[in-house]
Structure 1
Amino acid sequence: MTPAAPRSAEYGSDGQLLERVLTPYKPHCRYLKSATVTRQGEPRDGGRVSARGEFGIPESCYIDDTGHFNSVEFNLCFNQLVYYLLAKSVKERAMWPFSTWTLDEFWARQLPDILIVDFRSTFRRAMRGRAFWGEIDVVGMDERDGDDGSIALVSTLCRYGEEEMPACHGGVRLAVRMTRTRAA
């Protein structure tokens, strides 16, 4: 039996894990440079697991320079940081249901089984986006029956900013397939 994660813990940046998390991204779209994960209890019991990342976007991967961080980059940065948070949760056994997975299971499931089902972003001020920070808090976790097995619904809050000033924030809800389906 795997020991339970401590109620409160901080996990430093893991360069090898980050490199593996970013493998699905084209080299010019790997914006997350480092990240730490903090655990304050279990999200399904009212606790919080958080990640803080340092990002850099030298140039847009899809459009001429707009001069500001936009919703597409918001989403890409969210994806990279949440994948790191979940992979670190698997590795450190930091959060249910990911504490029951192996890293090999996570790598196989990273793209096909982790789905955004609700995405909201709000921009309060312009942000250049060349060097900035981002944070994600997992604030809720619930399990439901889905069409092809059980799913975990992961509720998150996120924000990005430069220096210590937040520029934008949002909420993203993920559905994670808990039952592996066979490829068609």
Structure 2
Amino acid sequence: MTTNQAQSTGATVLNTDQMLLDGVLEPYKENCRYLKTARVERDAPEDGSLAAHCTFEIPESCYIADTGHFNSVEFNICYNQMAYYLIAKAVEASLIEPFNSWSMKDYWERQLPNILIADFRSTFRSPVRSASFSGTLQFVRVTQRSGDRPMVLIDTTCRYTDTTGGRAEGAVKLVITNPPSRP
């Protein structure tokens, strides 16, 4: 893990952790591992802002003949890969609440069965070339609920771009069910 600490702002930048990325992508079939790099940035610790700036390559669609552009299925797969990585890095590096109290074991046990998309909205402004493009995922708000059905709610925004002006964006609400309870 490489960390660059910005002295004047309190911001933290974490470059791609290849071992963590490989672990996050392990459940995906080899031809669906689109996420290549992920740089995580946290603004001042007190504001809870967290973002991942990522690069992707889709040499061949996993389900359809080549259209030459990024589509809604790939939008969702890439979003999931960014979200899984950002949550895993938040846990590993204790970046924001409530993930700073989770262990990596807690994360791995919940990655597939408990991280769910509750609301998904996407807009395609202009075609994004699927061969090589960038994506950004930002946690807008993270809320932990307790009670009979504890959960973590994460409001996010995301954006995809390429070097030719392609652009797609979205807003997604994640729900993590069965979060670990800590005394």
TM-score range, shorter chain: 0.7 to 0.9
Are residues 64 and 166 of structure 1, via their aligned partners in 2, closer, same or farther at CA, if it must alter by over 3 Å?
closer
Runs (4+) of structure 1 exceeding 3 A deviation are none
The CA distance in 2 between the partners of 1:32 and 1:97, in whole Å, is 25
What secondary structure, in the 3-state scheme, does the structure 2 residue paired with 1:20 have? helix
Letter in structure 1 aligned against 2:140? V
Cα shift readout 1:38-84 (whole Å, capped 9, x = no counterpart): 00145xx7541000111000000011112210010000000001111
Are residues 131 and 122 of structure 1, via their aligned partners in 2, closer, same or farther at CA, if it must alter by over 3 Å?
same
**In the comparison of the two structures, how many residue pairs are matched?**
174
Contact 1:151 1:179 in 2 (8 A): yes
Residue of structure 2 in register with 1:149 after alignment: 149
Aligned positions of 1:80-119 closer than 5 A: 80-119=81-120
Q: Percent identity?
A: 46
Structure 1's unaligned 5+ residue stretches are: 1-5
Letter in structure 1 aligned against 2:52? A
Residue of structure 1 in register with 2:171 after alignment: 171
Residue of structure 2 in register with 1:15 after alignment: 18
The CA distance in 2 between the partners of 1:124 and 1:177, in whole Å, is 33
The CA distance in 2 between the partners of 1:105 and 1:144, in whole Å, is 17
Residue of structure 1 in register with 2:71 after alignment: 70
RMSD, aligned α-carbons = 2.1
Structure 2's unaligned 5+ residue stretches are: 1-5
CA-CA distance at 1:143 after TM superposition? 2.3
What secondary structure, in the 3-state scheme, does the structure 2 residue paired with 1:169 have? strand
Normalised by the length of structure 2, the TM-score is 0.88
Cα shift readout 1:93-127 (whole Å, capped 9, x = no counterpart): 00111111111111111011111000000000011
Cα shift readout 1:2-26 (whole Å, capped 9, x = no counterpart): xxxx952111111111000000000
